[in-house]
Structure 1
């Protein structure tokens, strides 16, 4: 059974491993490998300290997925947050991503966030379908915004309003 819970300091190393696995797929995230463990630790502890929603999916005590909403730091954008998420390959297509994103969005709304935005590669059809199912709408397209292994990809901007 997969448990969805708020991240804690005890999950940092497992979160870092999951982040690195998804990043090394080179298809979904904004980086191609996880940042150093210490940088991930700083990120998670900062998210916790600031009360930003960050949830993990656990299987056997190990992080197999995550979803977080980081509030924009500047006052004119502080009503909005940026969503990030990922799920290890064996756990995709089982509804876990939907559970994660719904949990994170509800928590974001509870903290007063009224807009959540994200970017997604145009080729990531499964993620786009998930985002649309939970209420995200396409707001724009950045052509050739990503270049991985000498191949350009378009990036779609999406957002949901509460």
Structure 2
């Protein structure tokens, strides 16, 4: 699905949130690797589960056609600095929900990019009959958990000792959901 572009200015940074386009594929491929290497909040380390530009182009094209998928990018200073994706299921029993994922360059944390990507995704879901949004977040990511709760998500469960981080310790993954049914 495709949404209209919207501009924001927060903390002196002006950026646009819009639907991803096939021409974004090369930037997204490099950006994902960079974001994965900047924080342990992501599931992957830098370069793991690499998606090349052709793979991103296919994903963007498929998401643009699917009524229960949404792929957004945040663009600042003519560069993609963040992205989010909602992916729904083709299965009839699961079609009512979509899973949300997000990544923002560390240099742009605190500019409301993650919040606005999520807010646009929630509005899209509400307008398109997506009754439930789900997401997963690392237990130590208190800022993200707080944001998700402010925007209507509730903790639905925990995957104990789910992630092994660089300190050699295991951490929980928090499962959250937002119901609009």
2:103 aligned residue (78, 86, 91): 86
Aligned: 1:99 with 2:112: no
Which protein has the larger Cα radius of gyration, Structure 1 or Structure 2?
2
* 2:178 aligned partner: 160
- TM (norm. structure 2) is 0.83
Q: 1: distance between equivalents of 2:44 and 2:128?
A: 28
Q: 2: distance between equivalents of 1:146 and 1:73?
A: 28
Q: Work out whether residues 69 and 81 of structure 1, in 8 Å CA contact, stay in contact via their aligned partners in 2.
A: yes
Gaps of 5+ in 1: none
User: How large is the RMSD of aligned CA atoms in angstroms?
Assistant: 1.5
Q: Which consecutive segments of 4 or more residues in structure 1 shift more than 3 A?
A: none
Q: 1:134 Cα deviation (Å)?
A: 0.9
* 1:76 aligned partner: 93
- TM (norm. structure 1) is 0.92
Q: Work out whether residues 64 and 91 of structure 1, in 8 Å CA contact, stay in contact via their aligned partners in 2.
A: yes
* 1:116 aligned partner: 133
* 1:40 aligned partner: 56
Q: Secondary structure at the match of 2:38?
A: coil
Q: 1:26 Cα deviation (Å)?
A: 4.6
Q: 1: distance between equivalents of 2:91 and 2:81?
A: 32
Q: Work out whether residues 53 and 69 of structure 1, in 8 Å CA contact, stay in contact via their aligned partners in 2.
A: yes
